[in-house]
């Protein structure tokens, strides 16, 4: 099964993707995580990607597709994957379709996690993660256990969030029309507890 988790920054894509990994036994492919790892390595590609991320702008399609393709080709993604934060442009959606077609696969479902703009800022500025495990927390909604040292992403500031949300509306939301035509889009309400949202996604996927 190949599933896209779609929605604005802070919708809960990463959080829910990790839960689906456990449930479905297929990996999460997050282009944001892949780009942050590349940036951390200090490579020239990483430095270039970091410039876009810091501004809340999308990385160019060519670089993004390159990073994504390398990950999709790995052994653990042979039986399907959960795509988190990819595709974010129509060109990326077309590239994904071609890459999957080569493998005899296609996007089975696009799950849109609906969260109103008014909720986004608080979710993102309160997001923290454990650098040791990658586990994502929220200072209020999903606090880290005592003793766990958490860090905040550089782009999770109020100014960058506003720009990321504008980028989402201008460049990413229109990608839904591409999938609507294929009849694979399902929408879930992303407001509620983490468990409630997981149950809604499971129901939408029929798993
Ligand atoms: P995305 O990958 O879509 O950007 P995340 O999964 O990283 O979103 O979630 C953004 C922040 O919101 C994190 O701090 C996460 O703990 C928190 N969060 C996720 N789901 C919910 C929810 N249903 N209610 C409240 N906060 C949530
Ligand atoms: P969030 O879900 O909170 O928006 P991500 O971790 O998915 O955050 O993405 C962080 C940043 O990484 C984006 O603002 C963008 O700069 C870059 N990025 C991630 N995925 C893509 C993509 N598919 N295309 C272009 N840029 C991307």
Among protein residues, the one whose CA lies closest to atom 2 of ligand 2 = 9
User: Mean pLDDT score of the chain, rounded to an integer?
Assistant: 97
Residues 6+ apart with CB under 8 A from 52: 58, 59, 60
> Which of 13, 142, 155 has most ligand 1 atoms within 8 Å of CB, for mutation?
142
Please give the pLDDT value at position 34: 98
Tens of pLDDT along 101-135? 999 999 999 999 999 999 999 999 999 999 999 99
Catalytic site positions: 13, 88, 127, 153, 164
Tens of pLDDT along 4-16? 999 999 999 999 9
Over residues 193-201, the mean pLDDT reads 98
Tens of pLDDT along 37-55? 999 999 999 999 999 999 9
d(CA 186, CA 184) in angstroms, rounded, equals 7
Residues 6+ apart with CB under 8 A from 67: 31, 34, 35, 38, 49
Domains present along the chain, CATH in parentheses: 2-205 (3.40.50.300)
| Residues with a CB atom less than 6 Å from ligand 2 | 9-10, 13, 31-32, 35, 52-53, 56-59, 64, 85-86, 88, 92, 164
- From the CA atom positions of the chain, what is the Rg in Å? 16
State the closest ligand 2 atom to the C-alpha of 87, by its place in the atom list counted from 1. 23
């Amino acid at each position: 099964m190949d599933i896209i988790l779609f929605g604005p920054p802070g919708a809960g894509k990463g959080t829910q993707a990790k839960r689906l990994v456990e449930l479905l036994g297929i990996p999460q492919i997050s282009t944001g995580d892949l780009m942050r790892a590349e940036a951390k390595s200090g490579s020239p590609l990483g430095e270039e990607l970091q410039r876009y991320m810091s501004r809340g702008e999308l990385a160019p399609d060519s670089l993004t597709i390159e990073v994504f393709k390398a990950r999709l080709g790995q052994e653990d993604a042979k039986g399907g994957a959960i795509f988190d934060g990819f595709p974010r442009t129509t060109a990326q959606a077309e590239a994904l379709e071609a890459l999957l077609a080569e493998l005899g696969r296609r996007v089975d479902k696009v799950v849109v996690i609906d969260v109103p703009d008014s909720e986004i800022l608080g979710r993102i500025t309160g997001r923290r993660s454990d650098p040791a495990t990658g586990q994502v927390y929220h200072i209020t909604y999903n606090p880290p256990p005592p003793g766990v040292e958490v860090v905040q992403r550089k782009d999770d500031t109020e100014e960058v969030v506003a720009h990321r949300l504008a980028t989402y509306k201008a460049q990413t939301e229109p990608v839904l029309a591409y999938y609507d035509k294929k009849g694979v889009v399902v929408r879930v309400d992303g407001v509620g507890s983490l468990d409630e949202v997981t149950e809604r996604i499971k129901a939408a996927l029929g798993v």
